[in-house]
């Protein structure tokens, strides 16, 4: 478990985070979501001491991180950032093997492990000898995730890791994260400004206002069903009825039912068991199922 | 200091000489680098030839160039034309890459929208690209001016180095004061050139006034022939 | 053109390469002075430049130093050092010359080292730190390899500067190819002066050419591949490495 107790961080006169307290359960995905200025990245970076709090305590399993040497701490925690941050002069396989090598693992063993991790993150082994600049953005992020997993960390910190990849690839990567988390039971702390991503990935979602003020925390279901206030309602989009779905009277094929939101846009289909999937009434106004692009703009 | 007082006429005369001998290469170098830079920013082949050619010329040590030019130009070795031509070549070489970068730094969107408004390619260059490249051009010109002023003194070895005379003469007399005065006046002259350019820049590019206050010229790397 | 012909005739006459004042000895002396000065400057400038680039502290001091160095007339500074050397009883030894050359080589080396480190993508450094690299490991395994091309660029500038200044140093000290130029000018033996000019120019071009090749070789393969890929896909605007289009330009545009 990771615990923040009354943590504040000030940069000169600016308060980035003020009196922040939170418990992050082990072996779950906790998503910190908020717009820029909410201090979410600062909070994330306090866990591996990339940022030290001005006051307050951050504990991992009851141990104050300030008592652990920063370098050793960071090597035990996986970290994935938005720009993959890969070392441009090292091949993919060596990028993934970086931390094990730092920890003294022999090169052949570290490379072998790196190749295995490429399988884990769904990256073909033929990319092993390439340089980061020879990969697409999505592939680079996969390498970033593999590198973070290289030391078999108990904690994985992810700072808007998929913010810069296109929506289809992002969706794939999100599914990979969920799968990897299920398989490894790693504690993941994930930072994003995309509420859909938060709801998709988070066992626990923490919505942050400015200065790291917790506006609401809970499971996606709880937040969606009972937004704490107008800010959250607007943030998750329920105020405009985008989240309030009804079964359309317009017929789908067979027994399928079309879902529409309060604005009248068809957002998806409930497939009848055994029936064929189809988007009924595919008028030009039809939207994608996830509403993702709209939400990103709202957030 | 007494020496300076007694020889003030000489020192001021040499300073004026120095300014004249540097002024021509700086102005000609700047003027020549604009069409060359424009050419190079439009054609990859021209860019390669120009950068390589001037890169090679720039590599030749100044004293060697001063001495070889008379053979090529057919001038007398003591003719100050040799020095002016050599310094002009260096000035162009120093300006060129910066000029190419400056024209390249003007955003493509701005150029496209200018074309869309109906600018011809020539008028677009003079009314849009050239003024917008101005700040970078000026930063480069400042480097060129300061370098040229300090480089000229070497030419005193072949008899036309302006303030450099104080170095050769001071050495022959073993007189340190004279050399220090030569250095100080050279640096002062470089500062005057730099200040004049900054002021000219503020007058000609009022939209950029705030940015020019800094030390743009000082921040530009001395040489950067990475691709030459 | 007669002078060029007679100069080449002089250079290609093997007997002129021998002896204490022959081309061979002077060439070696020129190279020796250059190498020693550059080595001294490297020892002084590179660690300091890397430190400044890594910490970001002292940048403005370096910028001011390189700017001021540009305004100093090297010829005057050279003679000043030599005369001071004579006053201190050094005579016409090479020590003050080498001292001046080393000092002159420091600013471009410093600028190359610090701007090279500074040009490394900050995200790359940040992620290296987040992975648990120590500051030393970040400097030696990430920043230094990526800074090498610009560092060698600084070495090229410094070396050219030193070769050129070592040429005029022949005015105040024995040795070096500059002697042909100085003797030729003083004795009004123009052929001799052209001999010196040709040899010095050839040496400068050769050394610069070698360093240009070195500069290409030290570009990390991952970086050069990225750069080539960009060039082919987007044309002339993207001649710089993909990852840090702005960073490589930092020294030019940040002012």
Cα angle value A35/A192/A259 (rounded, 5°): 95
Question: pLDDT tens for residues B61-99?
Answer: 999 898 888 888 888 877 888 899 999 999 999 998 888
> A150 and A199: one domain?
yes
Alpha carbon A299 to chain centroid, angstroms: 15
Query: Residues C72, C103: contact at Cβ < 8 Å?
Result: no
Q: In angstroms, what CA-CA distances link B30 with B54, B66, B135?
A: 14, 20, 14
Name the DSSP class of C87.
H
A121 and A86 belong to one structural domain: yes
Q: Are residues A250 and A129 in the same domain?
A: no
Q: Are B212 and B135 in contact (CB under 8 A)?
A: yes
CATH classification of the domain holding A14: 3.40.50.300
Whether residue B164 lies inside any domain: the answer is: yes
Q: Which residues of A touch C221 (CB under 8 A)?
A: 89, 131
- pLDDT per residue of chain A (299 residues) written in tens, 0 to 9: 999 999 999 988 888 899 999 999 999 999 999 888 889 999 999 999 999 999 999 999 999 999 999 999 999 999 998 887 899 999 999 999 999 999 889 999 999 999 999 999 989 999 999 999 999 989 999 999 999 999 889 999 999 998 888 888 899 899 999 999 999 999 999 999 988 899 999 999 999 988 889 999 999 989 888 888 888 888 787 665 666 777 765 555 566 677 777 667 777 777 665 555 444 444 444 334 444 444 433 43
Contact yes or no for B219 and C63 at CB 8 A: yes
Residue C248's pLDDT is: 31
Q: What is the pLDDT of residue C4?
A: 82
Q: CB contact, 8 Å: A133 with chain C?
A: yes
Domain that holds residue A56: 2-234
Same domain, A22 and A170: yes
What is the full DSSP assignment across C124-160?
HHHHHHHTT--HHHIIIIIIHHHHHHHHHHHHHHHHH
Assess if residue B65 is contained within a domain: yes
- Asked whether the beta carbons of residue B191 and residue C204 sit closer than 8 angstroms, the reply is no
Q: Which residues contact B113 (CB under 8 A, 6 or more apart)?
A: none
Asked if the C-beta of C133 comes within 8 angstroms of chain A's C-beta atoms, the answer is yes
Residue B52 lies in a domain: yes
Note whether A184 and A225 are same-domain residues: yes
Cα separation values, A105 from A108, A151, B58, C138, Å: 8, 10, 50, 19
Q: Pick the last residue of a domain from A192, A215, A234.
A: A234
The three-class DSSP label of residue B188 is helix
Same domain? For A287 and A193 the reply is no
Are A14 and A97 part of one and the same domain?
A: yes
Q: Which structural domain range is residue B83 located in?
A: 9-218
Domain count, chain A: 2
ipTM score? 0.81
Chain A CB contacts of C227 under 8 Å are 133
Burial of C196 (C-beta count, 10 Å sphere; 0-12/13-18/19+)? buried
β-sheet with A187-192: strand ranges across: A77-81, A155-159, A187-192, A29-33, A204-208, A214-218
Do B59 and C200 count as a contact with CB atoms less than 8 A apart? no
Q: Taking CB atoms and an 8 Å cutoff, what residues of chain A touch C134? A: 71
* Percent of chain B whose pLDDT exceeds 70: 90
Using one digit for the tens of pLDDT, what is the confidence trace for B23-60?
999 999 999 998 998 888 778 888 899 998 998 999 99
C134 touches chain A (CB under 8 A): yes
Q: What is the pLDDT of residue B191?
A: 93
pLDDT in tens, B173-198: 888 899 999 999 999 999 999 999 99
Asked whether residue B1 is domain-assigned, the answer is: no
What's the pLDDT at A25? 94
Q: Give me B39's structure tokens.
A: 């050419």
pLDDT tens readout for residues C1-46: 578 888 888 888 888 888 888 888 899 999 999 999 999 999 999 9
Against chain A, the chains showing at least 3 CB pairs within 8 Å are C
Query: From residue A158, how far is each of A41, A148, A209, C89 by CA, in Å?
Result: 9, 9, 19, 67
- pLDDT score of C136 more than 80: yes
* The pLDDT value given to residue A252: 53
Are B67 and C1 in contact (CB < 8 Å)? no
The domain boundary, picked from A234, A267, A283, lies at A234
Measure the CA dihedral B39/B40/B44/B46, to 10°.
80
CATH number of the domain bearing residue B46: 1.10.3720.10
Q: Are A73 and A111 contained in the same domain?
A: yes
Residues A256 and A210 in one domain: no
Lowest mean pLDDT among B132-141, C25-34, C80-89, C246-255: C246-255
Name A258's Cβ contacts closer than 8 Å, sequence gap at least 6.
A247, A248, A250, A251, A252, A266, A268, A269, A270, A279, A280, A281
In a domain, B141, yes or no: yes
DSSP A28: S
**Interchain contact, C130 vs A90, CB within 8 Å:** no
Distance separating alpha carbons of residues C231 and A277, to the nearest angstrom: 45
Residue C89, burial from CB neighbour count under 10 angstroms (0-12, 13-18, 19+): exposed
Say if residue A212 is in the same domain as residue A257: no
The domain total for chain B is: 1
Name every chain C residue with its beta carbon within 8 A of the beta carbon of A134: 222, 225-226, 229
Q: Report the pLDDT averaged over residues B2-14.
A: 86
Q: Does the beta-carbon distance from C220 to A91 stay under 8 Å? A: no
Between A236 and B164, name the one with better pLDDT: B164
Of B44, B61, B176, the CB nearest to C201: B61
Last residue of a domain, one of A234, A264, A287: A234
Instruction: Please say if the pLDDT value at position C65 is more than 80.
Output: yes
Give the span between the Cα atoms of A99 and A147, in whole angstroms: 8
Distances (CA, A) of A54 to A16, A44, A70, A130: 10, 15, 16, 42
Hey, which residues does A187 pair with through a beta bridge?
Answer: A155
Cα–Cα dist C227/C144, whole Å: 19
Same domain, A153 and A66: yes
Pairwise CB contact (< 8 Å): C127 & A79: yes
Residue A269: its H or E element: strand A266-270
**Confidence at residue C59, expressed as pLDDT on a 0 to 100 scale:** 85
3-state secondary structure of A23: strand
My answer on whether A120 and A262 are in the same domain is no
């Amino acid at each position: 478990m990771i615990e923040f107790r009354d943590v504040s961080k000030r940069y000169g006169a600016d308060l980035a985070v003020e009196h922040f307290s939170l418990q992050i359960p082990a072996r779950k995905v906790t998503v910190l979501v908020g717009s820029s200025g909410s201090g979410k990245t600062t909070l994330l970076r306090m866990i591996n001491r990339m940022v030290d709090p001005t006051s307050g305590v951050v504990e991992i399993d009851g141990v104050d991180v300030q008592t652990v040497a920063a370098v050793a701490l960071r090597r035990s925690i996986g970290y994935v950032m938005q720009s993959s941050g890969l070392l441009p002069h090292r091949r993919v396989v060596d990028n993934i093997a970086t931390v094990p090598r730092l920890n003294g693992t022999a090169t052949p063993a570290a490379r072998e492990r790196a190749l295995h991790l490429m399988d884990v993150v769904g990256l073909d082994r033929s990319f092993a000898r390439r340089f980061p600049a020879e990969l697409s953005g999505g592939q680079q992020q996969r390498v970033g995730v593999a590198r973070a997993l290289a030391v078999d960390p108990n904690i994985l910190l992810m700072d808007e890791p998929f913010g810069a990849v296109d929506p289809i690839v992002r969706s794939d990567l999100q599914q990979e994260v969920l799968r990897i988390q299920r398989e490894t039971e790693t504690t993941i702390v994930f930072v994003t400004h995309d509420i859909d991503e938060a709801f998709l990935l988070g066992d626990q979602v923490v919505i942050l206002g400015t200065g790291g003020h917790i506006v609401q925390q809970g499971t996606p279901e709880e937040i969606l069903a009972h937004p704490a206030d107008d800010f959250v309602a607007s943030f998750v989009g329920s105020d405009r009825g985008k989240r309030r779905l009804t079964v359309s009277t317009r017929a789908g094929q067979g027994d399928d039912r079309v879902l529409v939101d309060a604005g009248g846009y068809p957002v998806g289909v409930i497939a009848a068991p055994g029936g064929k999937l189809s988007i009924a009434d595919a008028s030009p106004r039809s939207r994608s199922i996830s509403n993702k692009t709209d939400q990103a703009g709202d957030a | 200091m007494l020496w300076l007082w007694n020889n003030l006429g000489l020192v001021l005369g040499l300073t004026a000489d120095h300014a004249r001998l540097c002024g021509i290469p700086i102005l000609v170098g700047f003027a020549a680098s604009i069409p060359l830079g424009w050419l190079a920013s439009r054609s990859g082949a021209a860019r390669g030839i120009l950068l390589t050619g001037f890169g090679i010329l720039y590599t030749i040590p100044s004293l060697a160039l001063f001495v070889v030019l008379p053979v090529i130009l057919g001038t007398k070795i003591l003719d100050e034309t040799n020095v002016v031509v050599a310094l002009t070549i260096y000035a162009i070489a120093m300006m060129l890459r910066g000029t190419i970068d400056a024209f390249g730094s003007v955003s493509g969107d701005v150029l496209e929208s200018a074309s869309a408004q109906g600018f011809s390619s020539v008028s677009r260059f003079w009314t849009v690209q050239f003024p917008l490249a101005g700040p970078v051009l000026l930063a480069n010109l400042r480097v060129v001016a300061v370098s040229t002023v300090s480089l000229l003194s070497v030419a005193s070895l072949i008899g036309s180095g302006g303030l450099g005379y104080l170095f050769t003469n001071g050495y022959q007399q073993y007189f340190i004061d004279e050399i220090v005065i030569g250095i100080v006046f050279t640096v002062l002259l470089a500062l005057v050139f730099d200040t004049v350019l900054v002021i000219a820049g503020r007058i000609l590019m009022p939209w950029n006034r705030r940015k020019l206050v800094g030390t743009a010229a000082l921040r530009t790397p001395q040489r950067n022939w990475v691709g030459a | 053109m007669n002078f060029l012909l007679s100069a080449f005739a002089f250079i290609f006459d093997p007997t002129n390469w021998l002896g204490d004042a022959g081309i061979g000895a002077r060439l070696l002396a020129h190279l020796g002075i250059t190498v020693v000065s550059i080595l001294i400057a490297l020892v002084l400038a590179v660690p300091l430049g890397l430190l400044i680039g890594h910490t970001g502290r002292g940048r403005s001091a370096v910028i001011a130093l390189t700017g001021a160095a540009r305004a100093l007339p090297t010829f005057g500074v050279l003679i000043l050092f030599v005369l001071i050397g004579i006053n201190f009883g050094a005579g016409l030894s090479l020590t003050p010359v080498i001292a001046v050359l080393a000092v002159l080589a420091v600013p471009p080396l410093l600028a190359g080292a610090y701007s090279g480190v500074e040009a490394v993508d900050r995200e790359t450094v940040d992620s290296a730190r987040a992975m648990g690299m120590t500051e030393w490991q970040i400097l030696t395994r990430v920043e230094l390899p990526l800074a090498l091309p610009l560092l060698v660029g600084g070495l090229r500038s410094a070396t050219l500067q030193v070769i050129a200044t070592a040429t005029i140093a022949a005015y105040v000290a024995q040795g070096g190819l500059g002697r042909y130029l100085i003797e030729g000018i003083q004795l009004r033996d123009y052929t001799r002066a052209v001999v010196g000019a040709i040899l010095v120019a050839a040496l400068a071009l050769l050394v610069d050419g070698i360093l240009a090749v070195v500069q290409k070789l030290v570009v990390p393969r991952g970086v050069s591949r990225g750069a080539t890929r960009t060039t082919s896909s987007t044309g002339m605007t993207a001649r710089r490495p993909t990852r840090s289009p702005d960073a490589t330009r930092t020294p030019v545009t940040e002012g």
